[in-house]
Amino acid sequence: MGTKSLKGRDLLGIADLSKDEIEQLLHLAKELKSGERSLLCNKVLGLLFYKASTRTRVSFTVAMYQLGGQALDLNPKVTQVGRGEPISDTARVLDRYLDILAVRTYKQEDIETFANYAEIPVINALSDLEHPCQILADLLTIKECFGTVSGINLTFLGDGNNVAHSLLLGGALMGMNVRLATPNNYQAKPEIVEKAKQIANNDAQISIGNDPIAAVRGAQVIYTDVWASMGQETSADERIPVFQPYQVNEQLLSYAEKDAIVLHCLPAHRGEEITSEVLEGKHSRVWDQAENRMHAQKALLAALLGDS
Protein backbone atom coordinates (compact mmCIF):
# COMPACT_ATOMS: atom_id res chain seq x y z
CA MET A 1 0.00 0.00 0.00
CA GLY A 2 1.52 3.33 -1.05
CA THR A 3 0.84 6.93 -0.10
CA LYS A 4 -1.79 7.10 -2.89
CA SER A 5 -4.09 5.29 -0.49
CA LEU A 6 -3.90 8.26 1.86
CA LYS A 7 -5.60 10.63 -0.58
CA GLY A 8 -8.53 12.42 1.04
CA ARG A 9 -8.06 10.77 4.42
CA ASP A 10 -7.99 12.41 7.86
CA LEU A 11 -5.17 12.02 10.36
CA LEU A 12 -6.81 12.27 13.77
CA GLY A 13 -4.41 9.93 15.54
CA ILE A 14 -1.21 8.16 14.51
CA ALA A 15 -2.98 4.78 14.42
CA ASP A 16 -5.13 6.07 11.54
CA LEU A 17 -2.08 5.07 9.50
CA SER A 18 -0.82 1.55 8.86
CA LYS A 19 2.79 0.46 9.20
CA ASP A 20 3.15 0.40 5.41
CA GLU A 21 1.70 3.89 5.08
CA ILE A 22 4.09 5.27 7.73
CA GLU A 23 7.00 3.60 5.94
CA GLN A 24 5.91 5.18 2.67
CA LEU A 25 5.63 8.59 4.35
CA LEU A 26 9.12 8.27 5.86
CA HIS A 27 10.46 7.32 2.46
CA LEU A 28 8.75 10.28 0.80
CA ALA A 29 9.93 12.62 3.57
CA LYS A 30 13.52 11.53 2.92
CA GLU A 31 13.05 12.16 -0.79
CA LEU A 32 11.51 15.60 -0.24
CA LYS A 33 14.26 16.48 2.21
CA SER A 34 16.82 16.23 -0.56
CA GLY A 35 15.01 18.49 -3.02
CA GLU A 36 12.00 20.72 -3.39
CA ARG A 37 9.11 19.70 -5.60
CA SER A 38 6.11 21.80 -6.57
CA LEU A 39 3.60 19.15 -5.65
CA LEU A 40 0.96 21.40 -4.14
CA CYS A 41 0.54 24.34 -6.57
CA ASN A 42 -2.68 26.25 -5.84
CA LYS A 43 -3.44 24.11 -2.77
CA VAL A 44 -4.32 25.92 0.46
CA LEU A 45 -3.85 24.60 3.98
CA GLY A 46 -5.80 26.21 6.83
CA LEU A 47 -4.26 26.25 10.30
CA LEU A 48 -6.84 26.55 13.06
CA PHE A 49 -4.97 26.50 16.35
CA TYR A 50 -6.65 26.97 19.75
CA LYS A 51 -3.29 26.58 21.49
CA ALA A 52 0.10 28.20 21.01
CA SER A 53 2.54 26.71 18.52
CA THR A 54 5.89 27.54 16.99
CA ARG A 55 7.13 24.35 15.32
CA THR A 56 3.85 22.96 14.06
CA ARG A 57 2.56 26.28 12.75
CA VAL A 58 5.80 27.32 11.05
CA SER A 59 6.78 23.89 9.72
CA PHE A 60 3.34 23.37 8.17
CA THR A 61 3.39 26.88 6.69
CA VAL A 62 6.86 26.58 5.20
CA ALA A 63 6.12 23.05 4.00
CA MET A 64 3.18 24.40 2.00
CA TYR A 65 5.21 27.31 0.58
CA GLN A 66 8.08 25.05 -0.44
CA LEU A 67 5.69 22.63 -2.14
CA GLY A 68 4.17 25.48 -4.13
CA GLY A 69 1.01 25.96 -2.07
CA GLN A 70 -0.22 28.46 0.51
CA ALA A 71 -1.03 28.33 4.21
CA LEU A 72 -3.64 30.44 5.97
CA ASP A 73 -3.54 31.16 9.69
CA LEU A 74 -7.12 30.92 10.98
CA ASN A 75 -6.56 32.18 14.49
CA PRO A 76 -9.76 31.36 16.47
CA LYS A 77 -9.40 34.71 18.26
CA VAL A 78 -10.18 36.55 15.03
CA THR A 79 -12.49 34.05 13.37
CA GLN A 80 -16.13 33.49 14.31
CA VAL A 81 -15.48 30.02 15.76
CA GLY A 82 -13.77 31.80 18.66
CA ARG A 83 -16.99 33.73 19.30
CA GLY A 84 -19.09 30.61 19.45
CA GLU A 85 -19.95 29.75 15.85
CA PRO A 86 -20.38 25.96 16.00
CA ILE A 87 -17.50 23.81 14.81
CA SER A 88 -19.96 21.93 12.61
CA ASP A 89 -20.83 25.16 10.72
CA THR A 90 -17.23 26.40 10.59
CA ALA A 91 -16.04 23.04 9.24
CA ARG A 92 -18.62 23.00 6.43
CA VAL A 93 -17.70 26.53 5.37
CA LEU A 94 -13.93 26.00 5.52
CA ASP A 95 -14.45 22.87 3.47
CA ARG A 96 -15.67 25.06 0.59
CA TYR A 97 -12.51 27.23 0.60
CA LEU A 98 -9.60 25.08 1.68
CA ASP A 99 -7.95 21.94 0.37
CA ILE A 100 -6.78 20.68 3.76
CA LEU A 101 -7.12 21.76 7.39
CA ALA A 102 -4.81 21.28 10.39
CA VAL A 103 -6.45 21.77 13.79
CA ARG A 104 -4.87 22.12 17.23
CA THR A 105 -7.36 21.77 20.06
CA TYR A 106 -7.84 20.76 23.65
CA LYS A 107 -10.53 18.11 23.14
CA GLN A 108 -9.94 15.31 20.62
CA GLU A 109 -13.72 15.33 20.03
CA ASP A 110 -13.46 18.83 18.56
CA ILE A 111 -11.00 17.60 15.90
CA GLU A 112 -13.34 14.68 15.23
CA THR A 113 -16.21 17.13 14.73
CA PHE A 114 -14.14 19.10 12.22
CA ALA A 115 -13.38 15.84 10.42
CA ASN A 116 -17.01 14.73 10.47
CA TYR A 117 -18.30 17.95 8.93
CA ALA A 118 -15.47 18.75 6.48
CA GLU A 119 -14.87 16.53 3.50
CA ILE A 120 -11.33 17.80 3.00
CA PRO A 121 -8.59 15.99 4.96
CA VAL A 122 -8.34 17.12 8.59
CA ILE A 123 -5.02 16.73 10.40
CA ASN A 124 -4.63 16.58 14.17
CA ALA A 125 -1.96 19.22 14.85
CA LEU A 126 -2.06 18.28 18.57
CA SER A 127 -4.90 17.61 20.97
CA ASP A 128 -4.90 16.68 24.63
CA LEU A 129 -5.01 13.05 23.47
CA GLU A 130 -2.48 12.81 20.65
CA HIS A 131 0.22 14.52 18.60
CA PRO A 132 0.54 12.33 15.49
CA CYS A 133 2.52 14.81 13.32
CA GLN A 134 5.18 14.98 16.01
CA ILE A 135 5.56 11.24 16.02
CA LEU A 136 6.03 11.07 12.24
CA ALA A 137 9.00 13.43 12.66
CA ASP A 138 10.29 11.42 15.61
CA LEU A 139 10.18 8.20 13.60
CA LEU A 140 12.01 9.92 10.75
CA THR A 141 14.70 11.13 13.17
CA ILE A 142 15.11 7.68 14.75
CA LYS A 143 15.34 6.07 11.32
CA GLU A 144 18.00 8.58 10.27
CA CYS A 145 20.03 7.86 13.41
CA PHE A 146 19.75 4.06 13.54
CA GLY A 147 18.77 3.10 9.98
CA THR A 148 15.55 1.53 11.26
CA VAL A 149 12.80 2.05 13.79
CA SER A 150 11.85 -1.59 14.11
CA GLY A 151 13.42 -3.21 17.17
CA ILE A 152 14.67 0.09 18.62
CA ASN A 153 14.18 0.55 22.39
CA LEU A 154 12.59 3.90 23.18
CA THR A 155 11.96 5.10 26.73
CA PHE A 156 9.64 8.01 27.43
CA LEU A 157 10.00 9.65 30.84
CA GLY A 158 7.54 12.04 32.45
CA ASP A 159 3.85 12.65 31.95
CA GLY A 160 1.64 10.08 30.21
CA ASN A 161 0.48 12.83 27.86
CA ASN A 162 -0.48 13.37 24.21
CA VAL A 163 3.09 12.83 22.97
CA ALA A 164 3.45 9.68 25.08
CA HIS A 165 0.17 8.37 23.65
CA SER A 166 1.21 8.89 20.04
CA LEU A 167 4.64 7.38 20.74
CA LEU A 168 2.99 4.29 22.24
CA LEU A 169 0.73 3.85 19.23
CA GLY A 170 3.27 4.86 16.59
CA GLY A 171 5.97 2.72 18.17
CA ALA A 172 3.63 -0.26 18.36
CA LEU A 173 2.74 0.14 14.69
CA MET A 174 6.38 0.27 13.64
CA GLY A 175 7.65 -2.61 15.80
CA MET A 176 9.54 -0.28 18.15
CA ASN A 177 9.75 -1.23 21.84
CA VAL A 178 8.25 1.61 23.88
CA ARG A 179 8.70 1.86 27.64
CA LEU A 180 6.99 4.57 29.65
CA ALA A 181 8.13 5.63 33.10
CA THR A 182 5.67 8.03 34.73
CA PRO A 183 4.64 8.89 38.27
CA ASN A 184 1.73 6.69 39.36
CA ASN A 185 -0.94 9.35 39.07
CA TYR A 186 0.24 10.55 35.67
CA GLN A 187 0.12 7.37 33.62
CA ALA A 188 -0.92 7.15 30.01
CA LYS A 189 -4.61 6.47 29.41
CA PRO A 190 -5.24 2.73 29.91
CA GLU A 191 -7.27 2.51 26.68
CA ILE A 192 -4.28 3.88 24.70
CA VAL A 193 -1.90 1.43 26.39
CA GLU A 194 -4.30 -1.41 25.64
CA LYS A 195 -4.65 -0.30 22.01
CA ALA A 196 -0.85 -0.06 21.66
CA LYS A 197 -0.43 -3.58 23.06
CA GLN A 198 -3.02 -4.91 20.64
CA ILE A 199 -1.34 -3.19 17.69
CA ALA A 200 2.12 -4.36 18.78
CA ASN A 201 0.95 -7.97 19.04
CA ASN A 202 4.27 -9.82 19.39
CA ASP A 203 6.24 -7.49 17.15
CA ALA A 204 7.04 -4.86 19.79
CA GLN A 205 7.12 -4.63 23.57
CA ILE A 206 4.95 -2.00 25.18
CA SER A 207 5.61 -1.54 28.87
CA ILE A 208 4.41 0.88 31.49
CA GLY A 209 6.06 1.50 34.84
CA ASN A 210 7.18 4.06 37.36
CA ASP A 211 10.88 3.27 37.75
CA PRO A 212 12.95 5.70 35.64
CA ILE A 213 16.27 3.85 36.01
CA ALA A 214 14.79 0.46 35.11
CA ALA A 215 13.06 2.05 32.10
CA VAL A 216 16.25 3.68 30.83
CA ARG A 217 18.45 0.54 30.99
CA GLY A 218 19.12 -0.63 27.43
CA ALA A 219 17.31 2.35 25.91
CA GLN A 220 18.58 3.64 22.56
CA VAL A 221 16.20 6.60 22.49
CA ILE A 222 15.39 8.65 25.58
CA TYR A 223 12.40 10.91 25.08
CA THR A 224 10.84 13.47 27.36
CA ASP A 225 8.31 16.27 27.23
CA VAL A 226 7.08 19.00 29.57
CA TRP A 227 5.60 17.89 32.88
CA ALA A 228 2.58 20.18 32.46
CA SER A 229 1.11 20.40 28.97
CA MET A 230 -0.85 23.30 27.53
CA GLY A 231 -4.07 23.54 29.51
CA GLN A 232 -2.45 22.12 32.68
CA GLU A 233 -0.62 25.28 33.71
CA THR A 234 -2.45 25.58 37.06
CA SER A 235 -1.02 22.24 38.27
CA ALA A 236 2.52 22.96 36.98
CA ASP A 237 4.01 23.83 40.41
CA GLU A 238 2.58 20.81 42.23
CA ARG A 239 3.91 18.52 39.49
CA ILE A 240 7.57 19.58 39.86
CA PRO A 241 8.48 17.55 42.99
CA VAL A 242 6.46 14.53 41.81
CA PHE A 243 8.22 14.43 38.44
CA GLN A 244 11.74 15.26 39.68
CA PRO A 245 12.96 11.60 39.62
CA TYR A 246 12.04 11.46 35.93
CA GLN A 247 14.26 14.37 34.91
CA VAL A 248 16.50 13.49 31.96
CA ASN A 249 19.95 14.40 33.29
CA GLU A 250 23.50 13.09 32.83
CA GLN A 251 23.11 10.63 35.69
CA LEU A 252 19.93 9.05 34.33
CA LEU A 253 21.42 8.99 30.84
CA SER A 254 24.38 6.98 32.14
CA TYR A 255 22.05 3.95 32.47
CA ALA A 256 21.09 4.07 28.78
CA GLU A 257 23.00 2.58 25.84
CA LYS A 258 26.27 4.38 25.09
CA ASP A 259 25.07 5.63 21.70
CA ALA A 260 21.60 6.57 22.95
CA ILE A 261 20.01 9.66 21.47
CA VAL A 262 17.86 12.13 23.38
CA LEU A 263 14.69 13.52 21.86
CA HIS A 264 12.26 16.19 23.08
CA CYS A 265 9.32 17.49 21.06
CA LEU A 266 10.01 21.02 22.38
CA PRO A 267 9.36 23.53 23.83
CA ALA A 268 11.62 22.37 26.68
CA HIS A 269 11.74 23.57 30.27
CA ARG A 270 15.44 23.39 31.08
CA GLY A 271 16.02 22.33 34.68
CA GLU A 272 12.65 20.58 34.85
CA GLU A 273 12.08 17.57 32.57
CA ILE A 274 15.56 17.89 31.01
CA THR A 275 18.79 19.55 32.05
CA SER A 276 20.47 22.13 29.87
CA GLU A 277 23.57 19.88 29.77
CA VAL A 278 21.62 17.03 28.18
CA LEU A 279 19.55 19.18 25.85
CA GLU A 280 22.71 20.83 24.54
CA GLY A 281 24.87 17.71 24.92
CA LYS A 282 26.28 15.19 22.47
CA HIS A 283 23.35 12.75 22.74
CA SER A 284 20.74 15.36 21.89
CA ARG A 285 19.12 15.27 18.45
CA VAL A 286 16.36 17.76 19.24
CA TRP A 287 17.22 20.27 16.52
CA ASP A 288 17.26 17.61 13.79
CA GLN A 289 14.00 16.33 15.26
CA ALA A 290 12.44 19.80 15.07
CA GLU A 291 13.63 20.21 11.47
CA ASN A 292 12.11 16.86 10.59
CA ARG A 293 8.66 18.17 11.52
CA MET A 294 8.72 20.02 8.21
CA HIS A 295 9.96 17.12 6.10
CA ALA A 296 7.53 14.60 7.59
CA GLN A 297 4.63 17.02 7.19
CA LYS A 298 5.56 17.73 3.57
CA ALA A 299 5.20 14.01 2.92
CA LEU A 300 1.93 13.90 4.84
CA LEU A 301 0.45 16.90 2.98
CA ALA A 302 1.47 15.51 -0.40
CA ALA A 303 0.02 12.10 0.46
CA LEU A 304 -3.28 13.37 1.89
CA LEU A 305 -3.73 15.64 -1.12
CA GLY A 306 -2.91 12.73 -3.40
CA ASP A 307 -0.02 14.39 -5.17
CA SER A 308 2.92 12.36 -3.98
User: Of these residues, 24, 179, 264, 265, which one is catalytic?
Assistant: 265
265 is catalytic: yes
H or E element at residue 156: strand 153-157
Q: Name residues whose C-beta falls within 8 Å of residue 129's C-beta, 6 or more positions apart in sequence.
A: 13, 108, 162, 165, 189, 192
Nearest 5°: the CA angle 101, 104, 110 is: 85
- Asked if residues 90 and 273 have their Cβ atoms less than 8 Å apart, the reply is no
- Chosen residue from 33, 266, 269, 306 binding ligand CP by CB under 6 A: 266
Nearer to ligand NVA, 106 or 255 (CB): 106
Q: Does 265 bind ligand NVA (CB under 6 A)?
A: yes
- Asked if residues 210 and 183 have their Cβ atoms less than 8 Å apart, the reply is yes
Neighbours of 84 (CB within 10 A): 6
- Chosen residue from 40, 91, 163, 303 binding ligand NVA by CB under 6 A: 163
Nearer to ligand NVA, 28 or 248 (CB): 248
104 is catalytic: yes
10 is catalytic: no
Q: Does 141 bind ligand CP (CB under 6 A)?
A: no
- Chosen residue from 115, 265, 296, 305 binding ligand CP by CB under 6 A: 265
- Asked if residues 296 and 23 have their Cβ atoms less than 8 Å apart, the reply is no
β-pair type (44-49, 70-73) = parallel
Nearer to ligand CP, 101 or 126 (CB): 126
Q: Which does 54 bind (CB under 5 to 8 A by kind): ligand NVA, ligand CP, none?
A: ligand CP
Q: Which does 226 bind (CB under 5 to 8 A by kind): ligand NVA, ligand CP, none?
A: ligand NVA
d(CA 74, CA 78): 8
- Residues annotated as catalytic are 104, 131, 134, 225, 265, 293
Contact residues toward ligand CP (CB under 6 A) are: 53-56, 126, 134, 265-266
Contact residues toward ligand NVA (CB under 6 A) are: 126, 161-163, 225-226, 229-230, 265
